Structure 1
Amino acid sequence: MTHTGLLIERRGPVCLLTINRDAVRNALDAATARALDEAVTQAEADPSIGAILLTGAGDRAFCSGMDIKEAARMGAGHGLVPGRGFGGLTERRRTKPLIAAVNGAAVAGGFEIVLACDLVFAADHAMFGLTEVKRGLFAFAGGIQRLARQMPRASALAMIMTGELVPAQRLYDLGIITEVVPHALLLDRALHVIGTMLDNDWQAINNGRQLYELSAGMEVNHALALGNAWGKATLDSAASRAGIAAYAGLPDKHSDA
């Protein structure tokens, strides 16, 4: 399915979204940003979808941020979706994992989208940067805020204040990227890892992801109390009973079988 610069596919329980504007290095114009926002909203509402995988067309760019030519005509900021950020992603509250397969340069808003993802697979030639400073702007839609949480200060400020690009391997070494792989293997590798992830209980995946995000901003005692409250509610769930019984090689005595 093609929709306003965005390809939407199903790969089993995975919704694959491809920014399809290679001629402009997959920059997001307002229409494509809205399409991306709508596609993620629909995927979030579909119980048969367990995860969302985002990539770009071609091998030059994952996403180069906002469409500069459109911004010159209409003013900057049209790729921002109210309440959900750039492309409908950088401020969105999600219930499902969002994974990036970075096929080329991810700069400006494109890097902000990457930083909002849960897992990041990058082609070995991919480059990353917050280039807004070179245009008299700064990465206020999540880039600076997430670097402050995810990257050491000196490395983060160098990206923020110089706008220079950083290779995928360097960001892997800093813990920003999950894996660096050859471009030819990128999508297959991302789908394989997602498949392994989705072999687990989907609710347990999302509980773990949400507890991690909440814990990052809490004192450890509060985070432990929250984890205990959530954990006790799931200890006797059907999924937990089945998983424990299967691991032990025993039938689930609570099942109807």
Structure 2
Amino acid sequence: MPNVTADHPPVLTERRGAVQVITLNRPHASNAMDAAGSYLADRYLREAEADPQVGAIVLTGAGNRCFCAGMDLKEAARRGAGHGLVPGAGFCGVTERVIGKPVIGAINGAAVAGGFEIALACDMLVAVEGALFGLPEVKRGMVAFTGGVQRLAQQLPRQTGMEIMCHGTLLTAERLKDLGVVNRVVPPAALLDETLAFASLMLENSWKAIAFGKELFNHAMHEPLPDAIARGHADADRLMRSDESREGIAAYVEHRTATFRKETPK
């Protein structure tokens, strides 16, 4: 891992209840991540994923202008592009991997280039009003190959995705909400509170069911429907006949709130 300056860490991490908040912390550089920042973000993501007391992860940026402007182009000019790509995990440890826990992007400003790749890799997005998203790499003779183009193809209509990729077009949070990519658009001052409330409401449900559902959902994105249904049947016993399901059913019958274990399954 590249060296990190302790006085000005490029990434911050903080626990908020059962949510780990990871903040890209280079606002002076539009939160563009150098190699040190990318590797540090990867480390914090892996620590959060391994902690059974963390139910969800929130990714956000420092300041009120940019979520992330992608890789640090000044560093790339000195060292060459790609030094911030974590092997097997991609930019900031997220664009090329699937994280087992729900990841929510709290998009505090422009999410472009690698920043949009990070946003597309999140499971859900809460964005501030007017935030811009896009892949302008084509204007620099590059392609967002570490997940950006691939996730565009999965998540957006072909014509819109192709425009974003080929023209470098920027879309607003409001437009991406209309397209189903952004879940909530909120005022800037309310972003973190709204995101944490969004995460906390989710975590009132069974964490085991959330993990199983995310795993099944991710497989279903790439499998024919009969295969995806067969996978669900093959794995169903570990959830449908579990302590969690018995508690959920009993709570319904007894007209009370279910009490689920607040730890991620092993």
TM-score range, shorter chain: over 0.9
C-alpha contact 1:2 1:8 (8 A) present in aligned 2? no
Structure 1 window deviating more from structure 2 (230-239 vs 169-178): it is 230-239
Aligned amino acid, residue 200 of structure 1: N
C-alpha contact 2:208 2:239 (8 A) present in aligned 1? no
Task: State yes or no: 1:26 paired with 2:19.
Answer: no
Give ranges in structure 1 of 5+ residues lacking alignment.
Answer: 252-257
Aligned-residue CA RMSD in angstroms?
A: 1.4
Q: Return the alpha-carbon distance in structure 2 between the equivalents of residues 138 and 174 of structure 1.
A: 23
Q: Return the alpha-carbon distance in structure 2 between the equivalents of residues 176 and 53 of structure 1.
A: 16
Aligned to 1:89: 94
Report the Cα offset of residue 230 of structure 1.
Answer: 1.7
Report the Cα offset of residue 250 of structure 1.
Answer: 7.3
Percent of aligned pairs with the same amino acid: 52
Pick aligned residue for 1:45 from 33, 50, 62: 50
C-alpha contact 1:172 1:180 (8 A) present in aligned 2? yes
Task: State yes or no: 1:206 paired with 2:204.
Answer: no
Aligned to 2:170: 165
Pick aligned residue for 1:16 from 6, 17, 21: 21
The SS at the match of 2:236 is helix
Deviations 1:38-84 (A, max 9, x none): 00011111111111101001111000000011111111111110100
The SS at the match of 1:59 is coil
C-alpha contact 1:79 1:86 (8 A) present in aligned 2? yes
Give ranges in structure 2 of 5+ residues lacking alignment.
Answer: 1-5, 257-266
Report the Cα offset of residue 233 of structure 1.
Answer: 2.9
TM-score (norm 2): 0.92
Q: Return the alpha-carbon distance in structure 2 between the equivalents of residues 161 and 242 of structure 1.
A: 51
Runs of 4+ aligned structure 1 residues displaced above 2 Å come to: 1-4
Q: Return the alpha-carbon distance in structure 1 between the equivalents of residues 237 and 101 of structure 2.
A: 22
Task: State yes or no: 1:152 paired with 2:157.
Answer: yes
Q: Return the alpha-carbon distance in structure 2 between the equivalents of residues 134 and 214 of structure 1.
A: 34
Q: Return the alpha-carbon distance in structure 2 between the equivalents of residues 201 and 115 of structure 1.
A: 25
Aligned amino acid, residue 108 of structure 2: N
Q: Return the alpha-carbon distance in structure 2 between the equivalents of residues 201 and 151 of structure 1.
A: 30
Count of residues in Structure 1 that have an aligned counterpart in Structure 2: 251
Report the Cα offset of residue 16 of structure 1.
Answer: 0.5
